Chains A and B, each alone.
Chain A
Amino acid sequence: MHGFEKKGQRMIALCMLGCVLFNFPILALFNVPGLLFGVPVLYAYIFITWALLIALMARVAEKRD
C-alpha cells in the first residue's frame, strides 16, 4: 500500500485506542454517580473522548503523506 503505510498504521492505532477507551474496564472507572460540568460523569467521559477521537482521526486523515 505504498506511501499510505504510515497513515494506515496511525488509523489502526486510533481504532485500537478507541476500542480500549470505550470498553471495560476503563468505562467502569467512569460509571460512578456524580456530575461533571453538570453532566453525569459517564456521559461526559463518553462524549469528550468521542470528540477527541474524532479530532485525532481528522488530524491523521488530513495529514499529508
Chain B
Amino acid sequence: MLQGWVVVATSFAYLGLLFAIAYYADRRADAGRSLIANPYIYSLSLAVYATAWTFYGSVGRAASDGVGFLPIYIGPTLMIALWWVVMRKILRISKDNRITSLADFIASRYGKSALLGGVVTVIAVIGIVPYISLQLKAVSNSFTIVLQYPAIVMPAKVGAVPMLQDTALWVALSLALFTILFGTRHLYSAERHEGMVAAIAFESLVKLLAFVAVGVFVTFGIYDGFGDVFARAAADPELRPLLTPLEGVAGGYASWVWLTILSMLAILFLPRQFQVTVIENVREEHLKKAIWLFPLYMLAINVFVLPIAFGGRLHFPGGVVDADTFVLSIPMAERQELLALLVFIGGLSAATGMVIVETIALSTMVCNDLLMPVLLRLKSLRLNDRADLTGLLLGIRRGAILLIVLLGYLYFRLAGDAYALVSIGLISFAAVAQFAPVVLGGIFWKGGTRRGALAALVAGFAIWFYTLLLPALARSGWLPIGLLEQGPFGIALLRPLQLFGLAGLDQITHAMLWSMIANLGAYVMVSLSGTQSAEEHRQASVFVDVFRRSPEGGGARFWRGTASATDLHHLLARFLGAAAADAAFRDHAKRKGLSWPTQPLTADADFVHHVETQLAGAIGASSARIMVASAVKEEALTLEEVRRIVDEASQVVMYSHQLEQKSRELEAASSELRAANERLKELDRLKDDFLSTVTHELRTPLTSIRSFGEILARDPKVDLAQRRRFLGIIAKETGRLTRLIDQVLDLAKIESGRTDWTETAVDLREVIGDSVAAMSQVLQEKKVRVEVHLPEQITPVRVDLDRIFQVLLNLLSNAVKFCNPQDRRIEVTLAERDGWLRVEVCDNGSGVRPADEKSIFDKFVQAGDTLTDKPQGSGLGLYICRHIVEHHGGRIWVQRAPAGGACFAFTLPIERGAPIHQP
C-alpha cells in the first residue's frame, strides 16, 4: 500500500482537497456568508504555528533532550496571556491603517519609511529561509523513508541523488505552484484570504489527528499506557537521565529560559503568525476564544511527544534511526501501512500549511515593501504611465513565492544535513525575534524613531547572521571550519560561537544574548539621541494612542496640497482595478452624504487620506505614500504657512482667553444681579416700613383733629376760651399734617429723581438772613436768641435757592425745637475755606446721642426715645436735607456743639466737581 504512486496520488488528492476547501470558502465569502468568521476556525488557523518541526522535530528533540522541545509551546502560551493587551492593540492599529504585513506595520509606525520596510523584508526573507528548508527537508525525508517500506532506511543512507531526482526539489516546486495557485488568485492582500484560512484550519485538524493517532498507537498499542513507557525508560540506563533532564542536559535552565523567550517573540513576529493572527483576523472578539483554544491545541499535540520519543528510543536502540523520523518509522516498523500513510499526510499538512502562509506573507512583503517602492521610484520604467498595474503586482508576488521556496531548497542543499529539524527552526526564530524591540517599543513608546528602528534591526540582524547563520554554513562545509574554531583572521575574540570570549552557552542563548543587547541598545540610544520628523511623530501617536482615537484616526489634517478626483480615481483603478476604485469612491461619497458619480467629489485632505488607505491595503503604506505623492501636488510648507498655522493656533488661544474673560464677566454680572436683587428686597421691605410709618405719622395729627372736632360738635356748651384752644390745636395739627404731606411728596420726588433743580448763583449770607427772618415769628414766640456769624466776604455759589432755603429752615426749626427750654439760644455760622462753604446751626439743647449721629439722617428716624418722648417731627426733614446737600456735592453731619448742644453742619463746594471735603 505504500508504493510510490499510491503515496504521490494520495498527496495530490490531499492537496486537491485543500484546494476544494479553499475554493468553497472563497465562494462562501463572495456570497457574504463567511466560513471563517468564527473563533474556532480562527484558533485552528493560528495552529499553523505547529509545522513539520512540531510534527517530526519535537520527538527528535525530546529523544535527545527530554523537555527541550517544550519551551517552544510554553513560551507562546505565556505570550498569548499577554495578547489581550498586546495583540488587541496590534489588531486595532492594523485594521485602522489597513496594514498588509509585518514589514508594512513597522514601516508605517516609523513614518511610512520605505527603507525600513525594505530592511524588515530582507531580514524576514533571509531569516525564514532556514525554516522553509526545514519543511522541505521533513517532507522529502518522510517521502524517501516511506518509499523504502518495508525497510527502515534513513535518507542519508539512501545516498546522494542527482538534482532532478531529488524529491526535495519536486516537493519545493509543487508547494510553490500550489501556493501560487492558492494565494495569488486575486490581488486583495488587505482583504483576507478566506479560502487559505479555511484550508489552513483544516490542515491543523489533520496534523493533530495524525499525530494523536500515532501517539495513541505507540502508547497504548505497542506499550501498555504512559506508565509502561516511562517505567521502561526509567529502567534503561541510557534514557534515565532524560527523566530529570534539566541538569546537565539541554543547556540547563539558561537554555530553557531563552527558548521560552524566543518562542514568546516568535508567536508574535513570525510572518505567517502575523498573517493569520492579524491580517486574516475577522473580528477582534475572536481573540477571546483563541486565547485559550490555541494553547489547548499546543498542549494536545504535545501530550504524546514523550511516549513516542521514548518508545522510539526503546524500539530502535543504538541510534540507527534518526529520532526526527520516529513518528513515521515506528508505524512502518510495526507494519501499520494505513497509519504510516496518515502520518505522512499529517506531516505534509504541517509542512504545506507553514509554507503556504509563510510564502504568501513574505511575498506580500517583498512586493509591497521591497520591490514596489523601488520600481515606483525608477522613472525609467515609466510605471506611472501604465493604466493597470494589478497584473504586475500579481506577477511580482508569484515570482517572490517561487523565489522564496527555491531559496529554502537551496539552504536545504547547502546546510540542511548539518542540523536537526528543531535547530534549523530555532535559527529562524532568532531572526524574527529581532523585530520585537521595534514593534513592541513602537506600540507602547512614542519616542522610538526611524533611525533608531533601522539601527536596531541592522545591528540585531548582523549579530544573528554572524553568530547563527555563518556557523550553520561553515558546519556544512561551505565556509572554512577554521572560521569557527580560530575566529576570522585568527582573532579568537571574534569567534562566532564564543563572541568576545563568551563561552559556556549553547548557540541560541549565545546569539540571543548578543543580538538583543545590540538590538535593544541601538533602538533606545539612537532613538533618544535623535529627533522625529513630523510624519514619524504623527504615526507614533497614531500607533501608541490607537485606543484613544476615533476609528477614522484623521491625521489627514497635516496634509496639504492639491489633487483632482479624476487623478485619484485613475490611481486607484491602476492598482485595484476599476470596479474596486468605483467602490472606494462610492464609499467615500456615501460618508460625505453625496452620491457619486452624479455629484463630483472634491479632493480634499480627507479624501486623499481615504485613497491612500485604500491603496495601502493593496500595496502597503510606504508604496501608497509614494503613489499618492505622485498623483497629488503636495506643497512643502513655507515659512509663511508655518506662521499662518502658528497664528491660527494663537488665535485659538486668544479665543479661549476671551471666553474665559466672558465667563468671568458673566460671573460678575450674576453677582451684581444677586446684589441688586438683595437691594430690591431690602427696598421692598423699606417701602412697607415707609407705608406703615407714614400712615402712623398721619394718624397722630388726624386723631387729635378728629377728637377735638368731635368734642366741639357734640358738646355745644363748651365755653369760648376752650373752644378757641381746641380750634387752635386743630389748626396746628392740620398745619402739621400739611407739612407732613408736603414732605412725603418731596421725598417721593427726590427718591424718584423727578425733582427739578433750578440753580442760580447765590450769596449764602442772604439766604441765611432770609431764613432767620422767615423764622422770626416763631423765634420771638419762643424767645429764642439767634446769633448769626457771617464773614465779610463770600464767594457766590451755584445752588437751588429754594432747596437750600428749605434745608436752613429745617435745621433752624429743629434747633428751635431741641434747644434748652430755659435759655433758648441758637448760633448760625457761615465760613469759607479751601473752596468750600460751611454752614453750622448749633443749639444749646441736650444734643444727639452718639449712637444716633449717623442714623438721624435716615428716613423716619427721630432723635430721642420714641417711647417716652412725644414725637417732635415727621422724621423726614433731615433725610430730605441730606438728599439736597448731597445733590449739590456737599455733605451734612451732626456733631457736638462747644456749648453742649447739637451742631448740624453742612458744606457746599464752590466749584462743582471739587473733591469731597473731609472736615
Contact of A51 among B67, B240, B299 (CB under 8 A): B299
Given A35-B230, A61-B292: A12 and B78 interface contact (C-beta under 8 Å):
no
User: Judging by beta carbons under 8 Å apart, are B81 and A42 in contact?
Assistant: no
Provide the bound-state CA to CA distance between A62 and B291, in Å: 9
A57 to B83, CA, bound (A): 11
Contact of B82 among A11, A32, A33, A46 (CB under 8 A): A11
Give how many B residues have a beta carbon under 8 Å from the other chain's beta carbons: 41
Q: Does B626 contact A (CB under 8 A)?
A: no
Point out the residues of chain B lying under 8 angstroms from A62, CB to CB.
288-289, 292
**Contacts of B289 on A, CB cut-off 8 Å?**
61-62
Residues of A within 8 A of B74 (CB): 18, 22, 46, 50
* 0/1 string, B266-306, CB within 8 A of A gives 1: 00000000000000000000011101100110010001001
Q: Tell me how many residue pairs across A and B have CB atoms closer than 8 Å.
A: 115
- A-B CB contact pairs (8 Å), 25 listed: A4-B88, A7-B84, A11-B85, A15-B82, A18-B74, A23-B256, A23-B257, A23-B260, A27-B256, A33-B243, A33-B244, A35-B234, A40-B243, A42-B246, A46-B67, A47-B299, A50-B74, A50-B295, A54-B77, A54-B292, A57-B291, A57-B292, A61-B288, A61-B289, A61-B292
In the complex, what residue of chain A is closest to B261 when comparing beta carbons? A19
Shortest beta-carbon distance, B617 to chain A, in Å? 26
Residues of A within 8 A of B (CB): 1-2, 4, 7-8, 11-12, 14-15, 18-19, 22-24, 27-28, 31-33, 35, 37-40, 42-43, 46-47, 50-51, 53-55, 57-58, 61-62
A22 CB to nearest B CB, Å? 5
**Nearest-neighbor residue (CB-CB) of B547 within chain A:** A1
Contact of B247 among A31, A35, A54 (CB under 8 A): A31
Closest residue of A by beta carbon distance from B291: A61
For residue B511, CB closer than 8 A to chain A, the reply is no
Shortest distance in angstroms between A34's beta carbon and chain B's nearest beta carbon?
9
B639 at the interface (CB under 8 A from A): no
Partner of B230, one of A8, A28, A31, A39: A39
- CB neighbours of A8 from chain B (8 A): 84-85
Q: Name the one of A4, A32, A33, A55 contacting B84, with C-beta atoms under 8 angstroms.
A: A4
A15 to B547 alpha-carbon distance, docked (Å): 22
B9 at the interface (CB under 8 A from A): no
Query: In the assembled complex, which residues on chain B have CB atoms less than 8 Å from the CB atom of A35?
Result: 227, 230-231, 234
Contact A54 B299 (CB under 8 A): yes
Residues from chain B with Cβ under 8 Å of A2 in the complex: 547
- Tell me the bound Cα distance from A32 to B243 in angstroms: 8
Nearest Cβ on chain A to B238's Cβ, whole angstroms: 15
Contact A22 B260 (CB under 8 A): yes
A27-B256, A35-B231, A61-B291 known; A19+B78 contact, CB < 8 A:
yes
Report which of B77, B83, B306 forms a contact with A43, defined as CB distance below 8 A.
Answer: B306
Known A7-B84, A38-B230; 7 more pairs at CB < 8 Å: A4-B88, A18-B78, A38-B228, A53-B81, A58-B291, A61-B291, A62-B292
In the complex, the answer to whether B292 meets A58 with C-beta atoms within 8 Å is: yes
Residues of A with C-beta under 8 A to B85: 1, 8, 11-12
Residue of A nearest to B253 (CB): A24
Going nearest first, the 8 A-B pairs with the smallest beta carbon separation are: A38-B227, A58-B292, A15-B81, A40-B243, A61-B291, A24-B253, A11-B84, A31-B246
Q: How far is the CB of B180 from chain A (nearest CB, A)?
A: 37
Q: Which residues of B contact A33 (CB under 8 A)?
A: 234, 240, 243-244
- Report yes or no: B246 in contact with A27, Cβ–Cβ below 8 A: yes
Q: Are A42 and B67 in contact (CB-based, < 8 A)?
A: yes
Contact A28 B246 (CB under 8 A): yes
* Contact residues in A for B88 (Cβ distance below 8 Å): 4
**Closest chain B residue to A10, Cβ basis:** B84
